[in-house]
Amino acid sequence: MPEHDGLMRVFWPTDIATSDLPGVIVGWRNSGLDVVVVAVLDHVDPKSVEGALKAGILLRGAPHDLDRIERLCGHSSMHVLGVTNPESAPEGKFIIEPSWVLATTGPSLRVPKVKCQVASSVQTISFERPIPNRMQYISLDPMALALADKGDPSLLSVSDGSDAEDEKQERRHRQKRRQLVDKLKLHSVVKHAPSMKDKALSRIVNQVNWAWELEHLMQKNVSLIGTRPKRTLSVSERVVEQATTMRDDAILWVWDKIIFYVFPIVRRIFILTLVSHRAAAEIFLMILEWRLRPSSPALKDISATAQQIEIRLQQFCYWPMQYVKLRLRKNDWASVTTSHPDYIRFYNSLWLVANDVIIGIAIGSYIIDNAGWVADQIGLLLRQYTVEALHSSIEWLMGWPAGLKLNKELALFLGDLFLWVIEYWSSCITTLQPLLPHIIWFIGFSSFAGASMPIAMFSDLVSILTIHIYSFYLASARIYHWQLTILLSLFQLFRGKKYNVLRNRVDSCDYDLDQLLVGTILFTLLFFLLPTVVVFYLNFAVARMAIISLKAVFDTMLSCLNHFPLFALMLRVKDPRRLPGGIRFELRDTQDRLKLDSNSSIAFSSHPPTSVIYLKPIPLSFTAMFHQYFQMGNRIRKHYLSPRVLFCLITGRFVPPIHRKVLYSLQYSMLPAKRADIIQMWDALNSLPAKKRPLGIYPYGKQFINMPSLPNGRRANGRRGAP
Amino acid sequence: MLTTAPHLHIRRPSPTTTEFTVSTLPPQTLPLRLLLAVVNLLRLLLGITVLLVLYAKWSLYSPYTAPASPPEALSLASLANALQHVLDSAPGRLAQRAAAGTPAWALGPAALAALYAAVRRVHAAESLLVLRGLGIQTSSSGATVLGAAATRFIPTEKIQDVLINEAFRGFEVRHYLIVVVDGEEDVVVVFPKLLPRRDVVERVWRGVRGCLFDVKPRPKDDDGQARGNGRRTNGKI
């Protein structure tokens, strides 16, 4: 029988008030000998406590719905679990049931000594209660900072063929692993059925999270047990009460009127403004996402600026929804932990935007003040690196680069071709030069919308101003690739073979003599011309790689500004218990082990073998916080540092730049895949409950005055402000 | 001399809770304690020296100078003042001379290596805590004294099996204890860094089964049980 193996498990909060007075332990009984202690009530009778728990008196005046407790903690009501310090109670006060926990507590004992009549061994698991008002909680699994409402593969189904190949390979790999895991399952011979105690763990986690709030509620209501209702107030007492509360009542009345008449108008105006902004954002988003054909790239896929604007607009669309979700949290118990990751995400994105704007104002004012100087510097850099450096390198290649003797005529031809285009481009840049200060000024001005804006614009500016290098790279790669394929097929001819397209293999073939002769001569010619083409190709490929790395630096800066887990990091330093990353147990030495050893027979009869265990939360690891970054880094590494890319580079095939969508997978960890449309937002904003009177803001400090659940007579008795 | 081969230490306060600890800490004798104290003192000195040299190097280039008048207590200025006093002392001057003599590119990596040696843990300890009704928790001490132990708790519901595996590692065969977790691709290796010898692993395996699933060891074929039930699948670490 797994339930009655004689193991008693007691979860005991270390921070409940402990005294050496007799008290009644109240909490959840998950199964026979598996209990979670919530509160110890002093000066009460166990029987009346049991009655009060059944009648729900102890949870009277609960600020929110009681059904939530049942749903999350798994039981409809708490039970009397046992008593503390039964020895010091007067004889006959407690009639002890066999399954009760008998605990010895005291101010000096950190962990109570627990025994039970039917238990042969005891696990005392003590925990420090997470405080729900500070949004602390524990969880079995690490908290997910990223939004997970979509499958990753669907998001990455980029039209690019190469990525699809990677994807396919990864899927095959995953399938193989799954098969291995399934095979591993066959290895276990005996399947141990989990006992009730094993199954209760997830419920216990919830009960631990609820312990603080429930205990405070019960301690507040403990005066309602057993004592008879007091008499109603006399007339003179009422007069005194009226007089003392007159001022408060007047303020309340004024406040009520404001809430009732002014607040709805302000709110309505605010909602209308928000929705009209949302509509404008929708139009911009549609422009940014517009595609000529379903397969062609949208504006946001091409330009970093467009992408940046899109992120900001998407965030703007998502914030009201997030805010509504967080507002609804206030109408629920603080112990419900499901919306805490949302809270962190919301404030993280707000904080990042604020940060971004602050940095942006600093950068922007600098750029605007020094627009002329900055434009001069940029023009100088542009001329120096994208025109003159290229010019000199081509001229170097036209001579004898590094002592290599190239084909002079071909080198001259190719060099002249490129030089001619560079001449033309440099004249373009010269006409652009006077415009540059204005562009820089515009960029500086845009940075008041955040430092990410000028970075994105500079990234785009680099793309535009180096377009000639890109085209050189394309042209030289094309020439090189053609030559290489011709050489390969001529090599087959040289060997007397031929590539069979229909069968995808190399067949032998009988060539005529003149065919062989011409082919071989052409092969020799092309082979000797190859080095000349290679050096030109390499030159431009290196330049292209340099530009890609520069843009990668810009993109890294952008992703840091947009998605850095700043709020989570701050919370990790300030209060690690708000970022749970799992739980751990610590086995403590039993305090009276020495005594147990010396006269174990006597000790055993009074206290069963007990292990004292501490349950502690693990804070979220830094690796988990930066998980998204690692994933993105992995993806970039897989794209650029793969053998396939190297092969493409060597054979002169086009190396596809990584898709912006992959680069910005981070974005999709913070935003929903599909944004809520205007009507949804309108509904959500209007569904917010109206503002309440400011009375309920001290849920544990004061009695509630206007709680409808309180019966009338009681209310008059428990005087206002009574503890 | 400071460490021994990994050996097992079992704590069992009640029959349903057991902690198996494998550590390289030798039995504590007086000479060993003295030796450890000396080593730790030396490491502390090394760490302080390196920090002092680094501070001296930084103060060579720092634009801040110590204020002339004694600043009020408990402020940043007073801290700077105190550091300046340290630099003016005899070891401080020595550190300054050393810092001025070494180039920055050599000082940086050397200081990093020395600091790592100062904070590195001498003894490794890895443990397995078995709680009936809750699950298994593996923990492994960090590489440095600054890092906390890395723990992993596996609820009983998720434990599919606990078995002994064998693998080739270099030119030897190692037996190691693994926990197969339901729904995960990777198995969890218990004692992953120390990888204790087979007799230790077998004792732990038997203890885990006894504690977690309440399996009584059969007295007849006590040795054959491990062979029969803990199937050996070949794998590589």
* 10-residue mean pLDDT series, chain A (723 residues): 69 84 87 88 84 83 82 85 81 75 82 84 90 90 76 46 71 90 81 82 91 89 67 74 84 87 88 90 88 80 87 89 86 84 90 93 91 88 87 86 82 91 90 88 89 92 90 92 92 87 87 89 92 90 89 87 89 91 87 45 61 91 86 81 82 76 68 80 80 47 41 40 37
Chain Cα centroid distance, residue A312: 18
Report residue A100: phi and psi, to 5°. Answer: -75, 150
Q: Which of A18-32, A508-522, B76-90, B144-158 has the lowest mean pLDDT?
A: B76-90
Partner residue facing B131 (CB), from A123, A199, A590: A123
Instruction: Please report, to the nearest 10 degrees, the dihedral formed by the alpha carbons of residues A268, A270, A271, A273 taken in order.
Output: 120
Which residues of chain B lie closer than 8 angstroms to A608, CB-CB? 14
Q: Determine contact: B69 vs chain A, CB below 8 A.
A: no
B136 neighbors B179 (Cβ within 8 angstroms): yes
3-state helix, strand, coil in chain A (%, to 5): 60, 10, 30
Q: Which helix (H) or strand (E) holds A505?
A: strand A505-508
Residue in the structure block whose two tokens are 């550091």: B83
How many residues does the structure list for chain A?
723
B137-166 residues touching A, CB cutoff 8 A:
137, 139, 151-153, 155-157, 160-161, 163
Facing A585 at nearest CB: one of B153, B180, B231: B153
Rounded distance between C-alpha atoms, residue A151 and residue A155, angstroms: 7
Q: Tell which of A138, A198, A615 to mutate to test the B interface (max B CBs under 10 Å).
A: A198
Q: Is the pLDDT of residue B77 over 80?
A: no
Instruction: Write out the residue limits of the CATH 2.30.29 domain(s) in chain B.
Output: 7-25+123-236
Beginning with the edge strand found earlier in the chain, give each strand of the sheet holding B125-131 in spatial order. Answer: B7-14, B17-23, B125-131, B135-140, B150-155
Burial degree of B57 (CB within 10 A; 0-12, 13-18, 19+): buried
| Selection from A452, A661, A451 nearest residue A558 by Cα | A452
Closest-CA distance of chain B to residue A426, Å: 42
pLDDT at A196: 83
Predicted pLDDT at A664: 67
Q: At what angle do helices A436-446 and A371-381 cross, to 10 degrees?
A: 120
Q: Which long-range contacts (CB under 8 A, 24 or more apart) does B88-96 make?
A: B91/B49, B91/B52, B92/B52, B92/B56, B95/B49, B95/B52, B95/B53, B95/B55, B95/B56, B96/B56, B96/B59, B96/B60
Strand residue runs (E) in chain B: 7-14, 17-23, 125-131, 135-140, 150-155, 159-169, 172-181, 188-189, 234-236
Are B137 and A585 an interchain contact pair (Cβ–Cβ within 8 Å)? yes
Residues of A in contact with B142 (CB under 8 A): none
- pLDDT band of B222, cuts 50, 70, 90: very low
- Taking only the tens place, the pLDDT of each residue in B4-23 is 888 899 988 888 899 999 99
Long-range contacts: A47-52, Cβ < 8 Å, 24+?
Answer: A47/A95, A48/A225, A48/A226, A49/A24, A49/A80, A49/A225, A50/A79, A50/A80, A52/A224, A52/A225
B16/A123 Cβ within 8 A: yes
Written as six digits, the tokens of B26 are 């030798």
Residues 84 through 143 of chain B touching chain A, CB cutoff 8 Å = 129, 131-135, 137, 139
Q: How far is B14 from chain A (nearest CA, A)?
A: 5
Cβ within 8 Å of A, B 187-226 = 187, 213-214
Kindly determine whether residue B14 and residue A583, on different chains, have CB atoms separated by under 8 Å: no
Largest CA distance in chain A: 130
Q: How far is B179 from chain A (nearest CA, A)?
A: 11
Residue B71: pLDDT band by 50, 70, 90 thresholds?
low
Contact B13 A192 (CB under 8 A): no
Q: CA B23, CA A65: separation in Å to the nearest integer?
A: 52
Give the HSE-up count for residue A315: Cα atoms under 13 Å, Cβ half-sphere. 21
Task: Please indicate whether, in this complex, the C-beta atoms of B151 and A613 are within 8 angstroms of each other.
Answer: no
Rounded CA separation A98/A115 (Å): 11
Q: Give pLDDT, residue A598.
A: 41
A147, amino acid identity: L
Q: Provide φ and ψ at B112, rounded to 5°.
A: -60, -45
Give this complex's ipTM: 0.81
| Nearest-10 Cα torsion for B203, B206, B209, B212 | -40
- Give me the residues paired with residue A114 across strands: A103
Closest by CA to A167, choosing from A187, A151, A181, is A151
Residues belonging to chain A with any Cβ–Cβ distance to chain B shorter than 8 Å:
5, 7, 9, 34, 121-123, 125, 140, 177-178, 180-181, 184-185, 187-190, 192, 194-195, 197-199, 201, 582-585, 587, 589-590, 593, 608-613, 618
Instruction: Return d(Cα A219, Cα A213) in angstroms, integer.
Output: 10
B163–A34 C-beta distance less than 8 A: no
Residues of A with CB below 8 A from B166's CB? none
The pLDDT tens digits of the residues spanning B165-184 come to 899 988 989 999 999 888 88
| Diameter over CA atoms, chain B | 84
For tokens 């519901």, what's the residue?
B157
Q: Using CA atoms, how far apart are residues A328 and A321, in angstroms rounded to an integer?
A: 11
CA distance A390 to A350: 44
- Looking at chain B from residue 169 to 188, which residues have their Cβ under 8 Å from any Cβ of chain A? 180, 184-185, 187
CB–CB contact A5 B214 (8 Å)? yes
C-alpha distances out from residue B232 to B52, B161, B219, Å: 54, 13, 22
* Mutation site, B14, B154, B188, interface A, largest A CB count within 10 A: B14
- The answer to whether the Cβ–Cβ distance between A609 and B14 falls below 8 Å is yes
Residues of chain A with C-beta less than 8 angstroms from the C-beta of B131: 123, 585, 613
Are the Cβ atoms of B16 and A585 closer than 8 angstroms? no
Interface test with A, best of B11, B20, B127, B134 (most A CBs within 10 A): B134
Q: Do B17 and A611 touch (CB under 8 A)?
A: yes
What pTM does this model have?
0.81
B189: pLDDT strictly greater than 50: yes
CB pairs under 8 A between A and B: 98
Find the CB nearest B17 among A123, A181, A188.
Answer: A123
A311-A308-A441 Cα angle (round to 5)? 145
The third-level CATH classification (topology) of the domain covering B7-25+123-236 is PH-domain like (2.30.29)
- What 3-state class would DSSP assign to B9? strand
The shortest C-alpha distance from B167 to chain A (Å) reads 16
Residue from A176, A611, A623 whose CB has the most chain B CBs within 10 Å, to mutate:
A611
Contact A184 B180 (CB under 8 A): yes
Which residues of chain B make contact with A609, given a CB cutoff of 8 A? 13-15
